Amino acid sequence: MTGWLGPHAGFILAAYLAAAAILGGLAVAILLDRRAQRRALAALEERGAGRRGGASS
């Protein structure tokens, strides 16, 4: 791979790896955050927090 990419292969691979790491990290962070908010909302609604006046318990 590095022979095919010439004398600057390290720089090319570093650029692609950095971009992949940043975008991968961003995507994972956003998806985990969304999942956490969905779970928190589901837990609140299960306790009846979404209903006017709250749960009857």
Q: Is the dihedral of CA 49, 54, 56, 57 positive or negative?
A: positive
Block residue for tokens 């985990």: 32
Sequence-ordered strand ranges (E) for 1-57? none
Q: 3-class SS at 23?
A: helix
- Contact string (CB under 8 A) for another protein, positions 3-42, x = contact: -xxxxxx-xx-xxx-xx--xx--xx-xxx-xx--xx-xx-
Least distance CB 25 / another protein (angstroms)? 8
Would you tell me which residues interact with another protein (CB under 8 A)?
A: 4-9, 11-12, 14-16, 18-19, 22-23, 26-27, 29-31, 33-34, 37-38, 40-41, 44-45, 47, 49-50, 53-55
